[in-house]
Amino acid sequence: MKRQAYLKLLPLDDALNLMLATFSASPLTPERIPLNQARGRTLAENAVARVSSPAFHGAAMDGVAVIAETTFGASERRPKTLRVGSEAHWVNTGRPLPAGANAVIMVEDLTPGQTADGKETVAIEKAAFPWQHVRKLGEDLVATESVLPPGTVIGAYELGALGAAGLLEPLVFRHPLVDVIPSGSELMPLAEAGPDRLAAGDKLPEFNSLVLSALVEDLGGLAAAKAIVPDEPELIRAAILNSVRGPADLVVINAGSSAGSHDYTAGIISQLGELLFHGICLMPGKPTALGRVEGKPVLGIPGYPVSAVIAFEELGQALLAHWQNRTRPQRPQATARPFAALPSRPGLEEFIRVKLGRVEDNLIAVPLPRGAGTVTSLSRADGIIRVPAPTEGLPADQPTPVSLIRTPNEIEGALLAIGSHDNALDLADSFLRHRFPGYRLTSAHLGSLGGLMALKAGRCHLAGSHLLGPDGVYNSAAVAEHLPERPVKMVRLADREQGLILPPGNPSGLHTLADLARPGVTFINRQRGSGTRVLLDWQLKQLGLSPDDLQGYENEEYTHMNVAAAVAGGRASAGLGVRAAATALGLSFIPVGVEEYDLVIPLSYWADPRIKALLEVITSSEFKAAVAALGGYDLTANGVIR
């Protein structure tokens, strides 16, 4: 079978319109279901009240029901006595008035008594006006009135309105049924993907079908995740045919739609039916394909998780919404300033996942990793910036629209930390959220110097930093140099052991930084501006070594953990980083020194309640115990303020 080149890249809107036009008719037969099963379903009718609510004139207070006219003339000086049972009738809140009654007098305004012959009476000192304390028939709803329009998603409030209207069996769309077919010989079922099996390194765990099923359910659908189909055209063809001939309304085949040699989906769709498009101007998500097979839509979406999500949200969810005559849940919009320029390939509309923080009235957007394989760029994102197809990207700091994944309140409660990466910051976020719901710590890892520069530009609330100065003191010199006009405090988070991160058992027998210059040793470095890089360069200088003496000096990673991963995966035979990263991956570690890790906080935020909360959290004994358990931290100086 020949490889399938992209037919033509369609703009996203064109793809959407073509899809909606082709599959305009909804296959979702409406059905009547009991109201107590209707939560989350979508109304298929203009719901019209069967009964009025309330269906009778009822008491709005506990007291007696009367004919108002019979009370006229009552006053403090001339109270009027009403006979219970004929002129006045006890009635409780919510109960119907007796026929003819048109007012209620509150129990508080009644003086009980009795007639000479022992019959119960009540005396009143004020006349009732007609319809006082009466909940009138139809006050909320009149029978035949429209209650809710079609396309309404039924939630708590709607259940109340339908219940009040006597609509005990609303007409709703049946659940859309979606088959999700994962395809690819490189995949194994998630249930088999235990740590041992993953460590074997032969297959990737298949979790996209779980994610796609949740996206189907978010739109009121029911998803069937099918078995993984290997990269064999016959098997893929059979799986598609099996699904389109089954109950599914929409068939999603995941992976197999890019233009690689094993990407058969588009070709198979062409053979089995009609290929509507293959390739859209969307990143991630470009290789998306859509066809019609035996009358049903077959959507081929790429295998990388972020591509799969974005393609399914933009197309699959749109189709499910259309069939149910409802709108897709839409994210609130805001205006953010990109922290850095966001270059993007012209001709593709790019969805960039960003972290967000409100700093000095500006919403700052820090981009997350842009690879289509980084599913955490979705779970960690606060928002998404769409870079329009015609542009080459967005300049830094230019106000730009962003769709919010978190609620505006969550974003306003976030402290944006930019700077050096430390595992303890993730812990601080956990502890902060737990102790102060509504607050969170959002961090972006741009190195110590990157953090100070962000503080200088007013683009973060605080910066984690461990920059060794020429005087051998941490952070003071760098702060003095880069933030001369911005008074700050430095709060010690911890002292950390830095050292050589080595494969388990230290097979190359390295013992000092000088050993990195030995032939055959490959090093993995941190990026320029990181505290670890500064430490390395300082130490190399002390040893009389130059960067050229280290093989791999030019290969950079952005976090301690990624340095450790590079060593664990055999990309390098040594790196420099904190002990916690080595411990985490079961690697060997040889200390080369202890460094001071400070949180640098501008005085202007010192009184901010979120900063106060953070400082309370990071100096708590629970937090310190949790950090100590990571290994390689000395918390003696924790909380020291300079």
Chain positions 491 to 510 lying near a copy of itself, rule: CB under 8 A, are: none
Verify binding: residue 361, a copy of itself, rule CB under 8 A. no
Which tokens belong to 614? Answer: 């953070």
Binding map of a copy of itself across residues 270-309, x = CB under 8 A, - = no contact: ---------------------------------x-x---x
Asked if omega into 284 is within 30° of 0 (cis), the reply is yes
Verify binding: residue 322, a copy of itself, rule CB under 8 A. yes
Calpha distance 460→364 (Å, rounded): 8
Identity of the residue, 231 or 598, whose beta carbon is nearer to a copy of itself in the bound complex: 231
Identity of the residue, 136 or 486, whose beta carbon is nearer to a copy of itself in the bound complex: 136
Verify binding: residue 521, a copy of itself, rule CB under 8 A. no
Verify binding: residue 558, a copy of itself, rule CB under 8 A. no
Give the closest residue to 267 by CA, choosing from 291, 239, 297, 301: 291
- Can you tell me which of 24, 86, 409, 621 binds a copy of itself, judged by CB under 8 A? 409
Identity of the residue, 265 or 475, whose beta carbon is nearer to a copy of itself in the bound complex: 265
Which tokens belong to 482? Answer: 């880069």
Verify binding: residue 515, a copy of itself, rule CB under 8 A. no
Verify binding: residue 384, a copy of itself, rule CB under 8 A. no
Judged by CB under 8 A, how many residues of this single chain contact a copy of itself?
135
- Can you tell me which of 18, 50, 241, 242 binds a copy of itself, judged by CB under 8 A? 50
Name residues whose C-beta falls within 8 Å of residue 383's C-beta, 6 or more positions apart in sequence: 331, 334, 336, 353, 354, 356, 365, 402, 403, 404, 405, 406, 411
Give the closest residue to 447 by CA, choosing from 340, 327, 317, 566: 340
CB of 422 to a copy of itself, least distance (A): 11
- Can you tell me which of 16, 33, 123, 159 binds a copy of itself, judged by CB under 8 A? 159
CB of 58 to a copy of itself, least distance (A): 7
Q: Which stretch binds a copy of itself (CB under 8 A): 175-183, 376-384, 508-516, 600-608?
A: 376-384
Q: Please tell me whether residue 102 adopts helix, strand or coil conformation.
A: coil
Identity of the residue, 286 or 489, whose beta carbon is nearer to a copy of itself in the bound complex: 286
DSSP string for 85-97? TTTBEEE-TTSBP
Identity of the residue, 148 or 468, whose beta carbon is nearer to a copy of itself in the bound complex: 148
Contacts 24+ apart (CB under 8 A), 229-234: 229/181, 229/182, 229/183, 230/183, 230/184, 230/185, 231/183, 231/184, 231/185, 231/256, 231/262, 231/264, 233/1, 233/264, 233/267, 233/268
Calpha distance 139→161 (Å, rounded): 13
Which tokens belong to 330? Answer: 């839409």
Identity of the residue, 370 or 456, whose beta carbon is nearer to a copy of itself in the bound complex: 370
CB of 352 to a copy of itself, least distance (A): 15
Please give the residues from 332 up to 351 whose contact with a copy of itself meets the rule CB under 8 A: 332-333
DSSP bridge pairs for 386: 351
Binding map of a copy of itself across residues 233-272, x = CB under 8 A, - = no contact: -------------------------x-xxx----------
Verify binding: residue 415, a copy of itself, rule CB under 8 A. no
Q: How far is CA 432 from CA 258, 494, 629, in A?
A: 43, 17, 18
CB of 17 to a copy of itself, least distance (A): 13
Binding map of a copy of itself across residues 567-606, x = CB under 8 A, - = no contact: -xxxx------------xx---------------------
Q: Are 565 and 586 in contact (CB under 8 A)?
A: no
What is the per-residue burial (b if ≥16 Cβ within 10 Å, else e) of 370-402?
bebebbebbebbbbbbbbebebeebeebeebeb
Q: Which residue has the tokens 């394989």?
A: 373
Verify binding: residue 325, a copy of itself, rule CB under 8 A. yes
- Can you tell me which of 18, 33, 123, 164 binds a copy of itself, judged by CB under 8 A? 164
Verify binding: residue 194, a copy of itself, rule CB under 8 A. yes
Q: Amino acid letter at 194?
A: G
Identity of the residue, 555 or 620, whose beta carbon is nearer to a copy of itself in the bound complex: 555
Which tokens belong to 587? Answer: 């690697």
Looking at the chain, how many residues does it have?
A: 642
- Can you tell me which of 11, 27, 113, 373 binds a copy of itself, judged by CB under 8 A? 373
